[in-house]
Amino acid sequence: MKIRFSDSPPANVRLYARILNQGDMPSDLDAALVDGANAARFKGSAGQVFETFAMQDDGLRWIALAGAGETDATGRRLNIEKAGAALAAKYLLSGESDMVLDLGHADLSGVEAAAALFGLRLRSWRLDTYRTKLPADKRPSLETIHVVGAPEGTNEAWTEAEAIARGVEFTRTLVTEPANKLYPESFVALCEKAFEGTGAELIVLDDDAMEKLGMGALLGVGQGSERPSRMLAIRWNGGTDGDKPTVFVGKGVTFDTGGISLKPPPGMEDMKWDMGGAGAVAGAMLAIVGRKAKANVIGVVGLVENMPDGKAQRPGDIVTTMSGQTVEVLNTDAEGRLVLCDALHWAQEEFDPARIVDLATLTGAMIIALGNEHGGMFSNDDELAGQLACAGEGVGDKLWRLPLAPAYDKLIDSPIADMKNVGPREAGSITAAQFLQRFVKKGTPWAHLDIAGMVWSTKPGHSWDKGATGYGARLLDRFVKENVE
């Protein structure tokens, strides 16, 4: 999607759109258009769209009004995003290649105007790479948005918003790609291409390097696959030299069969997005690097494929983690925490972070608890938890905090190892978080985000169609912007 700013609308564009606040009908609108909007009960509520056709001097004009909601509403910027996204959803397949978007009638700031473009850009994202027989009327046609009436500061705000949009789109691409195309090595290759020339440093560990470091838990998950495992770190030094970095860690199980503890076949195809945490971290880093954030940030992703080969680890096996702690593997389908525990320990040993946040599609229990409305959050630090919750609320990636406590921790004690990788059926998301907490060094602020219900959607949302949502990328970027820069 191309965004072009103009002083006046170009000729020969038939589709015109305006963004209006709730209850506001500018006096320059044609009376028939106003009557039609009123008859259709268009109020200008967030994401509401009214359309009509009218004859103008230059021919037929296709006119759309998109609502931005009340001017004093909580979440005003998200409502403005919804207005832009609604236009994309309505006209992406319209057959029109160009749209004129008039931003001069909703009393927007430059940042708010950029939010409308952000919503329009994100809602236009699709991955049609593998669709070879898509009918013409199902193919995206809308290519260019000609922005007129943009308030002062829109260009600058859009430059930053566009960088964030690229990050979210990268997350969606990674999450959407099928597992025969996206696996640990190809994940790394896509990141190398995406970050080329950005100034970010990429560090890659292969199986041999991880074995020398003693990452028995991560390698145990990947040993049943023909695909070698990888550890990837993306380092951005945009802050003050010597300042400890903020580190994000993502679970990157590029496909999860469950291993020997095989998952039921129905729905197993969804497990291509079990790398959603890694995708969110990679996308967030692309956004942070793209907008040249003044912060030291490192994204770490542990990449494996969990397969039931003859070499795969078995229930009852004991693995030794990089930290030296041992784990009795009771269920090979509780593999994400085995990947994360080595990634967390390596990140702390290698980078000495000021704070650390991990993201993972970790437990089905989280979907049972919170559905698809909130990601779950666990933390050893109230300030960090509050900052993440605030960042998530601001961008629409909502979080809900759940407890950590010694009573839950003892549920993962093993009679023959330091711990087991699953607890009882109850409190499954909490015991998974307790497992990870055992690998966080004392005094290090840490948060674990279980985003199992958030990275993929079976219905359209305010800035995404069915499929990958890009959840987490914006949250981490906003957290850095508000609390680290």
State whether residue 17 is helix, strand or coil: strand
In this structure, which amino acid lies at residue 199?
G
Task: Count Cβ atoms below 10 Å from residue 54 Cβ, excluding itself.
Answer: 13
Instruction: Report whether 80 contacts 35 (CB < 8 A).
Output: no
- Catalytic residue of the set 337, 355, 420, 478: 337
- 123 is a catalytic site residue: no
Q: Who's near 197: CB < 8 A, 6+ residues apart?
A: none
What backbone phi and psi angles, to 5 degrees, belong to 29? Answer: -70, 145
Lookup result for tokens 């914006």: 474
Instruction: Report whether 241 contacts 294 (CB < 8 A).
Output: no
Q: Where are the alpha helices (DSSP H) in 358-471?
A: 364-370, 382-395, 406-409, 428-437
- Catalytic residue of the set 61, 90, 126, 263: 263
Which letter does DSSP use for residue 425 in this model?
A: S
- 263 is a catalytic site residue: yes
Instruction: Report whether 399 contacts 449 (CB < 8 A).
Output: yes
Largest CA distance in the chain: 83
What backbone phi and psi angles, to 5 degrees, belong to 348? Answer: -70, -40
| Catalytic (active-site) positions | 263, 337
